[in-house]
Amino acid sequence: MKQRAVLVSAFVLMIVFVLVTVSFFSSALSAKQNTSIIIPTLTPTPTLASIPTPTPTPSPTPMPLVNGLSASLLDVASGRTLLNVNSHMHLPMWSTTKLMTALLAIERLSPDRMVTVQQAELDEVPSGMSIAFLQSNDQLSVRDLLYALLLPSGSDAAIVLAHEVSGNTASFVALMNARAGQLGLTDTHYSNPHGAAEPDHYSSAADLVKLARVAMGYPFFAQIVSTQSFHLPPTLYHHKYPWDNILNTFLQSYPGADGIKTGSNSAGDDWCMVFSAYQHGHLLIGAEMRAPSQDQVIIDAKNILDRGFTS
């Protein structure tokens, strides 16, 4: 009986040993299989929102042909207006006023006539105006005074010439307005012979071109405005006067350029220019008003002329 119990116990222990062994090898095999399985990492499919959109390169903004408020361009031979940008707008014309002053002096005085500069005339020039630095009691010819008027834009020369033509400034201004009426300058009114700011002193781009066309018809006027410098040596009758043309940058850099005149306010942020050039058998005369700087109005003049000569 005792022997039988021992055999039963041994049998039971064997069964337990077999079960434990089977369980051990089954777990080991399962662990090995699990370590050999590689779970792939899924890469998300990009959506439209996640794809960066390339930023377009902006095109450069072209510079406008006219940076002032108004402009006009005329083909003198044909009489055809090639550009009209607010050309009848009334605006200050500053020292381009001196075109009319020069025209009246040429029409009414001999270029060889001698004129004595008076101190009272020099005292009449408004403060801040451009001058030719004329000296009291100097004796100069009308020819010399016209160079002084148009090259360095001498407001002192404007007063001296006005007095020589009409006796005093007020009567000369009346003559300026009468001549403007004769020429059909319906957008123009003068209050002085030099261009100082006054409420009733204005013109338009169209009128400036019209006036310049008449003035350029006088060879002496055309010769002066195309001259780059005019230097008077000292004599027994007058001091030394070295005058250079304010328009030299334009005259020296644009093919065929032959004048004419600039003007500006004292702050230098309001410029006008009357310009002329001859190319390919065509004389073009133009004007721009209320440009922001001297450099800009000269650039605009060149671009306007380029457009005109190719049109």
Would you call 232 exposed, middle or buried from its count of C-beta atoms within 10 A (0-12, 13-18, 19+)? middle
* Both tokens assigned to 69: 């408020």
- 153 annotated active-site: yes
* Both tokens assigned to 180: 């403007």
Phi, psi of 222 (to 5 degrees): -60, -35
Q: Which residues lie below 8 Å from residue 252, measured CB to CB, with a gap of 6+? A: 228
Selecting among 70, 98, 141, 203, the annotated active-site residue is 98
Selecting among 95, 141, 166, 203, the annotated active-site residue is 95
- 59 annotated active-site: no
Selecting among 87, 153, 166, 191, the annotated active-site residue is 153
User: Which stretch of DSSP H or E encloses residue 288?
Assistant: strand 282-291
Residue 63, SS3?
Answer: coil
- 95 annotated active-site: yes
**Tokens 């169209």, located at residue:** 206
CA distance 104 to 110: 11
**Catalytic residue positions, numbered:** 95, 98, 153
